[in-house]
Chains A and B, each alone.
Chain A
Amino acid sequence: MLAINKINKQALIEYEDFLFMYVEEEEAFDSEKIFYVDAIIINSSSTRLFEKVLKVTRTHYDAEIYLKPIFCVQYEGLPLQVIERCDGLTDVTQYQKIARTTREIKNNVQKLFLQQKFPSNEFGVLYKTMQYLYTRNHDLVPFVNRHARLSYTYPFVSLQLEDEEQKKILDILKKGIQDGFLREEQMLDKIHICDACYSAHHNIRETCLHCNGIDLKVQDLIHHFQCAYIGPETDFMQEYTDDLICPKCQKILRHIGVDYDKPSHIFNCNTCSEHFQNPVFTYNCVDCGKISDIRHLQEHLIKRISLTAKGKQLVLSGLPRKTYESDSKAKEVTGVYELDVFKNILEQEKARTAFNPGRTFFGKVAVVDEKLNGISWKEKMILRDELARELKSYLKEYDMVTAVSAGEFYFLKLECTPEKLEELGELIVFNLEALVRSNVKDSQVVVSVNTQPVLHNQTVVM
C-alpha cells in the first residue's frame, strides 16, 4: 500500500504501516516533523541538504529521533561522506527494502533503555554511539573524508561533536574500549594529527636545521677518486658545457664508479646559507597554522569498532543511577547545564513565550583566540568549565548556561529588557576577555555576544 501526501513541497509517504519523510529540497525540510515519521528518505544530490538532515537528526536529544533511519536515493557522484552515514542507498521503487530496514531498526530502538542523563558529555556521546551500533547491528566503520578534521569520519559519532572537537572522538571510543563496551577490530589506517588542534591536515616539508627556512636546495656530493676532491655537484658543473670537470685537478669526470662516485648529498639553505645533510622534517598545520617537528604529531590508529556483549547489555539496561549523578561536572555550578538539557529547556521556554513574549533572550558567546589551539584538550575543558562558571556569575539564579566548547557558550536570559541585555553583553565581553588573558599567555582573545529574543514558533539560530 503506497500513498504519497505532499504538504509544502515535502512528501510524506505511507507504505505498509510506515510513514516516511521524503525530502527533496532544503527549504522543505521540517525538523519538527521528524518525530512523527518512521524514516527519512532524501532524494537529492545536494550534500548540504544531507548534512543538514543528518545534523538535525543525529544531534537531537531524543533517542527516538537521533536513531531515526535515514536513507538516500542513489545519485551518480553522491559523496562517500553521505552514503556512509545513511542507513542505505535506495531508489524510489525500493520501499519494501526501506521498510524492512526501518522495521529492524525500530524494533531494536524499542528494546533500548532510553537514557536521558549521562555523567558527562563524552559519555553521552559514547552511549548514543553504542545505541546507534546496536540498532544498526553493524560495526562502526570510519571512512576517509577530506573535509573532516581527522581525515576520517565516524558515522553517527562524528556528528555529535563540533569540527574542532573531533579529536575527542578518538578519546571517547578509546574510553569505550577500555571499559569493555567496544572492541577494536581490523586496523584500517594510521593518522597523524596536530598536537595543538588535532587536525590531520598538514603540509610536511624539509626545513633548515638552523633557521627553520624551507627554501632548501639539495645537491649530490661528487668524489673524484684521482685527486680526492669532493664537493657539491655545482663545483664540477660548467657554464657552457655538460661536462663535469674537477675544480682541483681540472680533469673531466667521464664515468661514474670509475672516475668518480656520489657518496652522499647535502642541503644548502637559501635563507641562512648553512649546509647540512639532515634537514628537520616539520609540519605546517593547515587548520591552526602551527609549525613544529613531525615528531610532535600524535599517531592514532583508525580501526573498525564493534559493540561488545557488555556494551549491548548497557544500552539495553541503561546506566546504574549513581553513575551519572556523582560524576557530572556540569552539576557543580547551579544553572550550568548540558547542551541537550539546555536545548530541551529552550524548547520549553519557546512554548512559554507564547504567553509572555519579549522578555526572554537567547545569547551566544563566542571566545576566539588562536592561542587556545595550542593548549591541550584537558586544559580546554578546564577553561570551558571556568568560563561557563564565570558567565553564570553574571546571570540570575534562574538563568541558564551551557558550554558547547571552550570557545562557544549559550545562555538563556529570562525576564530581561533589551537595554539591560546590552549592558550585560558588555560586562560579559569585558570580564571573559580579562579571564582568558590572565589564563592564556600572549592571548589575543576576542569575545563576542550575540543575542536574540526567544519567540514562540521561531527557530533560535545557534
Chain B
Amino acid sequence: MDFIIEFFKYWNYVGLGKMIRIFWYFIFFEFGRYVVLEFWVLFVYWLGRKRRAKEWEAARQALYNEMPLISLIAPGKNEGKNIFKLVKSLNEQTYQNVEVIIVDDGSDDETPIIGRNLEKNGLIDIFIRNDMRGGKASAANLAWRYSRGKFLLHLDADCSFDRTAVENIIIPFYLDPEIGGVGGNVKVRNGDVSLCARLQSIEYLKSISVGRIVTSYLGIYRIISGAFGAFRMDALKKIGVWDIGPGLDGDITVKLRKSGYKIHFEPTAICLTAVPTKFSKLWKQRLRWSRSLVRFRLRKHLDVFLPHRNWRWGTFLGFVENVFYNFVLDIKWYIYIADMIINFSSWIWFLIPMNLALYMIAGFMQQLSLSLWSERSEDERVLWWYVPLMVFYVAFFLRFCRTLAYIKEFFWKASYRDPWNPQKSSYQALKNGY
C-alpha cells in the first residue's frame, strides 16, 4: 500500500515534462505509431465505407460477369492431415470457378496417398508429388507452372477459409487494375489451445487484421501472407515467381512492388490458420521469420533505398518503416533500457510499473479498435483478459527472439543453414546471392 502511495507521489512530483523525457521511446514511437496513427487511419477508413461499398459492389459484379478461372495452390510438406480440411473449406466457397492444385514437397507421411485419392475422386484438380524435397519456393513454382487461372491464390495447407474468402480476395483486382497482389486476413483458429496461441491470436489481430488495413491504406503494406495471398498470374510471370526462402512471401511482395504493381490488403478475405501452441516452437518459427528482414530487406532488396526505374515512395517508406520499427528500434530499446538503468537507477522501481502500465493502456486501446473492426468480436471477447500479458510477450519474448535472429543472420547468415530449406537449394542461394 505504501508503495502505491509513494508511486503516485513520485509521478505527481515528476510532472509531464520529465515524464516525456523518461518515456520518449514509448510516446513517440510506440504510442504515436500504433495508437494515434492507427486510430486516425482507421477513422478515415471508416469515413470512406459507403464509397468503398459502392465500388466493391461494382467490382464484384465485374468479377462475376467475367467469371475467371482462379488457381488455388497449396504447396507443402507432411500436410496430409490438413489437406482434406482445406479441400472441404474450398469446396464451400461462394466462388466456384476454381482449380485446386496441391504440391507435396517430398512428404514422408501419408500425404501422397491422401492427395492421390482426392485427385482421383475429383476433389482436387492436380496433385503433384516431388519425391525429393525442393523447398517451399520450388513447390509453389511447380504449382504455378501447372496453373491455368487468371489469378493465383497461394494457400497454406493448414488453413481454412470463410465461405466468401476466395471471392473477397479477388474483388480488389477489379477495384484497381494496377493491383498485382492482395493479402488476405489471417486469423488464428486454434487460439483456445494454450496461452501461447491466445497471445498469438491478439498479435495476429493487431499486426494483420488491423495493422495491415493501416499499412495498406498508407501504401506501405509490405507482406502478402503466404497463408493466404492472391496474385495476378501475369504479374507472377513478370517477376519470375518465388525465389528461395525462408521469408519468400515478403520477398515476392517486394518483387511485385519493385515491378510497379500495387499491393492491397483485404480484411474481409478471412483465413484461419493453426499457430504453434508451444513457446519453444513459436521461438523457432519467429527466428526464421525475423531472419528474413536482414536477408531480404537489408541484403537482397537493398536497392529499394536507392533511386531506380520503378522506385516508389510507398515501397521506400514501407521498407523504412519496417527496418526502423523492427531493426533500428530493436537496437534502440537496449540503449533505452541502459539509459534508464544508468540515469534513473534510483527510481527504477517506479519506472518499470509505469512503463508496464502505459503499454497496457496502449494495448487495451488497440484491443478496442480490434473489437470495433473484427467480424468475430463476440468470439474474441475472451482475448481482453490476455491483453496485459501481451506487454511481456511483445517486449521480451518477441524482442529477444528478433534480436537473436538479426545477430545470427547479420553475422553468420544463419538462414542459409535453416533446415526449412533443403541444403542443396540454400547452398546455391548463398553462392549466388539470393
Contact = CB atoms under 8 A, between A and B. Distances in A.
B428 A235 contact: no
Contacts of B106: 263
Given A264-B130, A276-B119, A226 B428 contact: yes
A392 interface: no
A274 B244 CA distance: 28
Nearest to B426: A225
A230 B134 contact: yes
Interface residues of A, number: 26
B132 A228 contact: no
Given A230-B134, A278-B119, A225 B127 contact: no
Given A275-B126, A278-B116, A278-B119, A229 B241 contact: yes
Contacts of A278: 116, 119-120, 127
Nearest to B146: A275
B131 A263 contact: yes
A236 to B, nearest CB: 12
In this complex, the member of A228, A274, A280 whose beta carbon has the largest number of chain B beta carbons within 10 angstroms is A228
A30 interface: no
Given A223-B134, A223-B138, A276-B119, A228 B129 contact: no
A439 to B, nearest CB: 33
B129 A277 contact: yes
Nearest to A249: B240
B120 A209 contact: yes
Given A226-B434, A229-B141, A278-B116, A259 B130 contact: no
Given A248-B240, A275-B146, A226 B128 contact: no
Classify the interface of chain B: helix, strand, loop or mixed: mixed
A230 B134 CA distance: 9
A257 B244 CA distance: 17
Contacts, number: 88
Interface string A255-277: 00101010110100000001111
Interface residues of B, number: 34
Contacts of B425: 225, 228
A221 interface: yes
B130 A228 contact: no
Nearest to A276: B126
A209 B119 contact: yes
A221 B119 contact: no
Interface string B393-434: 000000000000000000000000000000011011101101
Contacts of B241: 228-229, 248
A226 B424 CA distance: 9
Interface in B112-129: 116, 119-120, 126-129
A427 interface: no
B296 to A, nearest CB: 14
Interface string A397-413: 00000000000000000
A228 B422 CA distance: 11
A231 B146 CA distance: 8
Given A209-B120, A221-B142, A230-B134, A264 B434 contact: no
A280 B122 CA distance: 13
B135 interface: yes
A227 interface: yes
B34 to A, nearest CB: 35
Given A209-B119, A263-B106, A277-B129, A226 B141 contact: no
B188 interface: no
A228 B145 contact: no
A228 B142 CA distance: 9
Given A230-B138, A235-B145, A264 B424 contact: no
Contacts of A259: 428
B95 interface: no
A231 B142 contact: yes
Contacts of A209: 119-120
B237 to A, nearest CB: 10
A339 to B, nearest CB: 46
Nearest to A246: B240
Interface string A304-348: 000000000000000000000000000000000000000000000
A275 B103 CA distance: 13
Contacts of B240: 227, 229, 248-249
A259 B141 CA distance: 17
B242 interface: yes
A227 B434 contact: yes
A228 B127 contact: no
B77 to A, nearest CB: 12
Interface in B234-289: 240-244
Nearest to A278: B116
Contacts of B208: none
B137 interface: yes
A257 B427 CA distance: 12
B14 to A, nearest CB: 56
A209 to B, nearest CB: 7
Contact of A228 (B119, B133, B135): B135
Interface string B306-321: 0000000000000000
A226 B429 contact: yes
A266 B116 CA distance: 13
A208 to B, nearest CB: 12
Nearest to A264: B130
Contacts of B434: 226-227
A249 B243 CA distance: 11
Contact of A264 (B128, B141, B146, B427): B128
A274 B125 CA distance: 9
A248 B141 CA distance: 10
Given A249-B240, A263-B106, A229 B126 contact: no
A10 B135 CA distance: 82
Contacts of A263: 106, 130-134
Given A264-B131, A276-B126, A277-B128, A228 B424 contact: no
A425 B116 CA distance: 56
B429 A229 contact: no
A343 B381 CA distance: 92
Contacts of A277: 127-129
Central interface residue in A223, A257, A261, A280, by most chain B CB within 10 Å: A223
Contact of A221 (B127, B130, B137, B431): B130
Interface in A415-459: none
Given A221-B142, A264-B130, A228 B120 contact: no
Contacts of B432: 226
Given A248-B241, A261-B424, A263-B106, A228 B131 contact: no
Contacts of A226: 428-429, 431-432, 434
B145 to A, nearest CB: 5
A230 B132 contact: no
Interface string A100-118: 0000000000000000000
Contacts of A275: 126, 128, 146
A228 B138 contact: yes
A86 to B, nearest CB: 50
Given A228-B135, A230-B134, A231-B142, A266 B128 contact: yes
20 contacts: A209-B119, A221-B128, A223-B138, A225-B429, A226-B428, A226-B432, A228-B241, A228-B242, A229-B141, A230-B134, A235-B145, A257-B424, A261-B134, A263-B130, A263-B133, A266-B128, A266-B146, A274-B126, A278-B119, A278-B120
Given A223-B132, A228-B242, 20 more contacts: A209-B120, A223-B130, A225-B425, A226-B432, A227-B243, A227-B244, A228-B135, A228-B138, A229-B141, A230-B141, A230-B142, A231-B145, A232-B145, A249-B240, A263-B133, A263-B134, A264-B129, A264-B131, A264-B132, A277-B128
Interface pairs A-B: 3 shortest CB-CB? A228-B137, A263-B130, A263-B132
